Amino acid sequence: MKTRAVLNRNFIVSDIDERLYGSFIEHLGRAVYGGVYEPAHPRADAEGFREDVLELVRELKVPVVRYPGGNFVSAYRWEDTVGPRENRPVRLDPAWKSTEPNEFGLNEFSSWAKKAGSGVMMAVNLGTRGIQEACDLLEYCNHPSGSYWSDLRHSHGYPEPHNIRLWCLGNELDGWWQVGHKTAVEYGRLANETAKALKLFDPGLELVVCGSSGSGMPTFPQWELEVLEECYDNVDYISLHMYLNNKENDTAGFLASTVAMDSFIETVIHTCDYVKAKKRSRKTINLSFDEWNVWYHSNESDNQIYKNTPWQVGPSLLEDVYNLEDALVVGLMLNSLIRHADRVKIACLAQLVNVIAPVMTRTGGPAWRQTIFYPFFYVSNYARGAALNVRVDSPAYEHPTYGQVPWLDASAVYNGEKGTVALFLVNRSLDENIELNLVLEGFEDYRLAMHKMMAGNDLKAANTEDHPEKVVPAEGTGLKCSKGVLEGSVLPASWNFVLLTQG
């Protein structure tokens, strides 16, 4: 099937905020205990952090990590997590029916994030708690010294403020499952008053208000509208969450489902701008897509754990083992984020280690890369710069749920300093090559420097502890670039990274 496309150096969508390639660590399952923190592990460092995990996280170049939840944050008592370990209480976490020993807390996370080369995106509890606890937490984290909470931090051995600039005002409070679920107006009022109070301490903070927990929620997008009407002037971003799945074992539908991500983003942009117009405001609210991924493989096993063995420390929850088709979908989701880089400024692959994650470990054993590690790795490492609008004239197929779905999905990022164009291409067809003709206007002197590809006949192939490299990117074939045209075959059911360099 033939597909023509045009890329023009001047069709700039926006500079990409590097926080588009963020991720997420929640106190959930083995993300922390047996994941980032395992003092008895042979590769643990002096603070009990797994060096093998840190090495893989550093490969991903994650600029910001959201913490500590997620659903967990809605009953979070941050004070339990600081100070001498022997005084920290063991608590039951209602969100995940687990026991939280509080051996690893806020200060340890801040220190881990530094070692990972990441910044922190901290969430406050607006489920069971409110304005005061959020202010106390901010003072503990960011105030230099000379106040109760900042001096307490000093006494805990952390004289330097953590200086956390980005804060989430709770998590998914539209969801009935959330501890402390609220109506839009209740939440919007609380978020507004919390935002005002936090900004009294520091007007330079960036605050993320909760949008809907998914575009399928019956209250979407009314929730966004009502929440923003309450807090528009005091927040900076609104959150979006989306998890895709192939529960129906319909791979064509699974690959098509990312068009729902494009329309989710566009609906939220329209809703923000409607409130902006209604308020006669000059301020624009941007988007924080702070949870996105594929999630479904572990659902059944999780239900068994909640039913049969609840209240464990670090249970094996949400341990999706990702296959090749999941990697294609993660590649498609990354394309959607890049295409919307003018309004989506922050995004977090949910999550980072063990829990629906690119990095898996065995407690006491090795760490390895899941299939979804790779598209994230190439995007995070090479797609820094300005997102370009790729005009793709692709044939499309009709899907009963998603409508017209183009066979070829693409995104492009230009880095003027390095003289590179990073292209990300997915062929959604399960059996046909795409014969691509991509005209590169303004890049006539660029040549093909790298082509990596994830493709193969077995879309269900996955990496495991015994076969950690069963699915890895191969050297791409079939594309050539000359005199400002990239052309050739894009294989069926494939994700492709093409790097063009000047000269």
206 as an active site residue: the answer is no
Helices (H), 309-364: 324-339
Nearest approach, Cβ of residue 175 and ligand AHR (Å) = 7
CB atoms within 10 A of CB 475: 8
Residue found under tokens 């106190």:
27
Please select the residue that binds ligand AHR; options are 52, 291, 325, 409, rule is CB under 6 A: 291
Nearest approach, Cβ of residue 168 and ligand AHR (Å) = 10
CA separation for the pair 402, 407 (Å, rounded): 13
Site for ligand AHR in 52-91 (CB under 6 A): 69-71
CA separation for the pair 227, 191 (Å, rounded): 8
Nearest approach, Cβ of residue 131 and ligand AHR (Å) = 21
CA separation for the pair 404, 398 (Å, rounded): 5
Nearest 5 degrees, angle CA 411-CA 415-CA 417?
A: 180
Asked whether position 224 contacts ligand AHR by CB under 6 A, the answer is no
Q: Which of 387, 374, 408, 414 is nearest to 500 (CA)?
A: 414
Please, which residue, 155 or 299, has the CB nearer to ligand AHR? 299
3-class secondary structure, 226: helix
Nearest 5 degrees, angle CA 193-CA 195-CA 201?
A: 110
Nearest approach, Cβ of residue 48 and ligand AHR (Å) = 24
Question: Catalytic one among 172, 224, 230, 325?
Answer: 172
Please, which residue, 171 or 394, has the CB nearer to ligand AHR? 171
- Whether the CB-CB separation of 132 and 66 falls below 8 Å is answered with no
Please, which residue, 78 or 424, has the CB nearer to ligand AHR? 78
398 as an active site residue: the answer is no
Please, which residue, 88 or 241, has the CB nearer to ligand AHR? 241
Asked whether position 26 contacts ligand AHR by CB under 6 A, the answer is yes
Please, which residue, 298 or 323, has the CB nearer to ligand AHR? 298
Nearest approach, Cβ of residue 71 and ligand AHR (Å) = 4
CB atoms within 10 A of CB 367: 23
Binding residues for ligand AHR, rule CB under 6 A, total 11
Q: Which of 172, 305, 323 is nearest to 246 (CA)?
A: 323
Asked whether position 494 contacts ligand AHR by CB under 6 A, the answer is no
Nearest approach, Cβ of residue 69 and ligand AHR (Å) = 5
Asked whether position 320 contacts ligand AHR by CB under 6 A, the answer is no
Torsions phi, psi of 326, nearest 5? -65, -40
Please select the residue that binds ligand AHR; options are 213, 257, 298, 463, rule is CB under 6 A: 213
Q: What is the DSSP letter of 75?
A: G
User: Annotated active-site positions, please?
Assistant: 172, 291
Summarize as ranges the residues that interact with ligand AHR (CB under 6 A).
26, 69-71, 171-172, 213, 241, 291, 350-351
